[in-house]
Amino acid sequence: MGIDPEPFEKKARQEGFSSVAGIDEAGRGPLAGPVLSAAVILPERVSLEHLDDSKRLSPGRREELFGAIYEQAISIGIGIVDPVEIDRINILQASLLAMRMAVDNLRPAPDYLLVDGTIPIQCPLPQQVVKHGDRRCRSIAAASIIAKVTRDRLMRLYDEEFPVFGFGQHKGYGTRAHREAIRTFGCCRIHRKTFRGVEEYVDNHW
């Protein structure tokens, strides 16, 4: 397994860009926790065996690649939007905002963006959206791993604060166990109050 990349970064460099960032997010679907995005600028030559969409990798492989990406990347930026803001502006806008924040946190700054999905982010930099980019583009795949591992680590920390919900296991996604915990205990401050499966229990909030 591994990504067989289409030459998105190469094409951008041939067009005169020198600092190409891939951007992806993690956490659009969960009932709890933030949406988190990562932006990654990889060097032209990089050694990342088994690099792939984070969803197609085992947790152990993601952790290995997470360390390797941090060792080899030119720059990594993270953007986080919390559940309160998600409820205020909706999850799509929150995801795009997190992506823009991740780009803004890159040092050195990029001059071209490769964005996973079909919707560009609000940013003056030239960019290309890449549908299923996390399995087609190396820098987006790297960003997907950074975003996924970072968010999972945050959810394990929340698990220590709110152990009754099992965030360490399901990372906030709407599993049967998680939905049963919400029905039993209500929702906590990191739940997304506008999401179905949570909104019905906002009166029982702690």
Give the pLDDT of residue 7: 85
Distance CA 190, CA 176 (A): 18
Give the pLDDT of residue 5: 57
Phi, psi for residue 65 in degrees, rounded to 5: -70, -35
User: In 73-124, which ranges are continuous DSSP H helix?
Assistant: 83-89, 91-104
Domains of the chain (ranges, CATH numbers): 8-161 (3.30.420.10)
Q: Which residue type is seen at 130?
A: V
Residues 85-130 have pLDDT tens digits of 999 999 999 999 999 999 999 999 999 999 999 999 999 999 999 9
Q: What pTM was estimated for this model as a whole?
A: 0.95
Q: Which residue type is seen at 52?
A: D
